[in-house]
A and B are shown apart, each in its own frame.
Chain A
Amino acid sequence: MLQITNLNKTYGDHHALKGLNLTVNKGEVFCLLGQNGAGKTTTINISLGFLAPDSGEVLINGKKVGKDGNDTRRHIAYIPEVVMLYANLTAVENLDFFSKLAGYSYDRKQLRDFLTDANLQSEAHEKRVGAFSKGMRQKVGIAIAIAKNADVILMDEPTSGLDPRATDEFTRIVKQLASQGKSVLIATHDIFNAVSIGTHIGIMKDGQLLHVVGADNISPEALQKLYLETI
């Protein structure tokens, strides 16, 4: 579970976050919509412990994200907009490496199963990721998140640049993760994907969360209208 309470962050004169409050419960997928500079990535960075807030706090499973964030990061999986991996290692080697860092040691079959669960075709499992497309790297990133078995998953623009089929596959996997009780926070620009993937959708502007709606209660068109009115 992810709880953000009265979070404030400034960069010089610019207020990146102004009293942000949000909660992502187990099994929920919270999509944060907003323009560039709305504060979505800052929220994720603070949640990961990469940035210190000016005030407010972030709790991961009830534990406060500290100054170095190292303790709470163990309970978080993170998928950036572009998943960058070690180009001279294979997909399996990358997954093995990151899993071991998270404290999990899997055998080769298990590692390949995770990659399969993330929809990476089996012939790519033993290939070096240097030649992988963005979508393929994204799948390895998802496999890393699955293998880590983290309670909270943070994603920053995960579908940006993915083709419709890859986006569809991605949506299916995220829903599956949520069904396993994970709390998922996604920062995105993609209104239509937010509706299909999220359980809750928040619209941010100038560091404030101005609207939170349930995805079941709103159509993509209505969300688009609300989003355009808000920003």
Chain B
Amino acid sequence: MKIFITLASQELKRLWRDSTFQVLAVFLLLLSGYAIFSSTEQYGHAYTEHHALTDTARYMLQHQKPTSAHMAGHYGHIVFKPATFLQAIDPGVNAYTGTTVRLEAHRQNEAVFIPASGQSSLIRFGEFSFAMLLQVIFPLLILFTCYRSIIADRQNGTLRLLLCQGVSMRQLITARAAAYIAVYWTFLLLAALVYGLVFYMGQHEAGAGVLPRVFLLVFLYGLYYALLIALTVYLSARANSPSGLLVGLLAAWFIFTVIIPKTAANIGAQRTPLPTRVAFDQSIADDRKGGINGHDTRNERSQRFTDSVLRAHGVDSASQLPVKLGGLLMQADEDFNNYVYDKAITRISSIISAQNRVGAVSGFADPFMAVKNLSMAIAGTDMHHHYDFTKDVEDYRRVLIRDLNKLDAARVSEFKDSKGKLTQEYWDQVKDYRYESPALGWSLANYITEIIALFTWIVAVCLLIALTSNKIRIA
């Protein structure tokens, strides 16, 4: 242990005095500062915008012109995906999924107003986020700072002198790796602290459960950097040529961060292709033809539904019913529409899950894939969270429309005026839409494969160092 501490502290001292490392450290701090500033700015903007838009939509809902429940269903409502503190760290797929959903009767609208669509092409395909810094830039700097960690000693001749003092290669690799891990963990913790401070000073709401997720993100990236550092230091001990090693590491970085993620996405899309938007809409339209059309009371299915309602109430005509038939028909139409939508979305979800499985499994070949997916999951910005938001919005829409259909069917209601129009009291009591992210456990449960892949990498690198370090050729 004494040797370990001596080696690690000497490496830290050396790094502290190394001008190349000093330049890289300043570069890293500047980049981190910029990433923190820009992402918190973006988050602050999104947060303010979300609150302003939500208030406006609420005002419009409550102050709409007096109208019937049926027309109110068509007019609908607009809800917004909330901006979260964690999306400032890892925006995930948020830049490519919509933030605004129009809720209306008979149809499930997609989220629109995709942040990336309003940006230039350069930003659309590579927005500089803090996650990008953590996932792409930090690893690159790790390679640059660690690749010479032991090969420099081999070149300088100090390696032989070190080993002659009774140091084993395993001790040297682990101690040097520990020194670099300490450095990068300090950067990481410093960034997390500054992030927290900037966020706190911005006086934004963090939301429940954010803190454990932030800790988990720090832990995830800490683990990832430890893995990269240990592997780089080990390779530095094995390599014979620094330039050859650097070229190899840069190639690996490029393959891990660009080639494999793109290839995995392409393989997934080719193996289980999604239908085109037109085909998807057409299949829903075809399925809907088999249901009740609430606006066409004379079609066969509407007639059958009307007959069954009349029979159930033991009356001969709709005017004898205690409720308005139109409202019941609208809800029947809605129920069938919901059934068709659920069926279609289940089909699409299974295709996307199959595509994502390729990405998940590729984590065994590329730890970056596992870390990227886990980071999005912990930040709550992955596709699963987006689907959860979409489902939550749809649940809210169904309740909103069902209540309006109920009012439409009611002959008399406290929320209707003498002309059958909805009063403002009704809108006042309609609950606001509030989306709460699922629990952390739910987020991680979707990524068991990635968790296993990451731990497999860690165990493999530990075993590699433990079992083969002392066999590395010295002379």
A181 to chain B, nearest CB (A): 20
A132 at interface by CB-CB < 8 Å:
no
Tell me which of B158, B165, B470 contacts A148 (CB under 8 A).
Answer: B165
Q: Does B168 contact A (CB under 8 A)?
A: yes
**Could you say which of A84, A100, A101 contacts B157, with CB atoms under 8 Å apart?**
A84
Q: Is A166 part of the binding interface, using a Cβ–Cβ cutoff of 8 Å?
A: no
A residues near B6, Cβ cutoff 8 Å: 97, 100-101
Interchain CB contact under 8 A, B164 and A77: yes
Q: A82-B157, A89-B13, A89-B14 are in contact. Are A68 and B168 (CB under 8 A)?
A: yes
Residues of chain A contacted by B156 (CB below 8 angstroms): 84
Query: Which of the listed residues A78, A80, A101, A103 has the most CB atoms from chain B within 10 Å of its own CB?
Result: A101
The interface size bin for chain B is 20 to 34
Whether the pair A85, B165 counts as a contact (CB closer than 8 A) is no
What chain A residues lie within 8 Å of B165 (beta carbons)?
73, 98, 101-102, 148
The interface residues of chain A lying within 8 Å CB-to-CB of B3 are 100-101, 103
Interface residues of A in 49-91 (CB under 8 A from B): 50-51, 67-68, 70, 73-74, 76-78, 80, 82-86, 88-89
Among B13, B157, B162, which residue has its beta carbon within 8 angstroms of that of A80? B157
**Chain B 1-13: CB-based contact to A (< 8 A → 1; otherwise 0):** 0110011001001
Instruction: List chain A residues, Cβ under 8 A from B164.
Output: 48, 73, 76-78
- A-B contacts counted at CB < 8 A amount to 74
Cβ of B289 < 8 Å from any Cβ of A? no
Q: How far is the CB of B358 from chain A (nearest CB, A)?
A: 43
A70, B470: Cβ atoms under 8 Å? Answer: yes
The answer to whether A50 touches B14 (Cβ under 8 A) is no
B163 touches A86 (CB 8 A): no
Contact with A along B436-475 (1 / 0, CB 8 A): 0000000000000000000000000000000000110011
Report which B residues bind A (CB closer than 8 A). Answer: 2-3, 6-7, 10, 13-14, 17-18, 156-158, 160-169, 470-471, 474-475
Bin the interface of chain A by size. 20 to 34
A84 to B154, CA, bound (A): 10
Contacting pair B166 A73 (CB below 8 A): yes
Question: Is A45 engaged at the interface, CB distance under 8 Å to the other chain?
Answer: yes
A74 to B161, CA, bound (A): 12
Query: In the bound complex, do residue A80 and residue B161 qualify as a contact, i.e. CB atoms below 8 Å apart?
Result: yes
**Does A144 belong to the interface (CB within 8 Å)?**
yes
B118 to chain A, nearest CB (A): 50
The residues of B that contact A86 with a CB separation of less than 8 Å are: 10, 14, 158
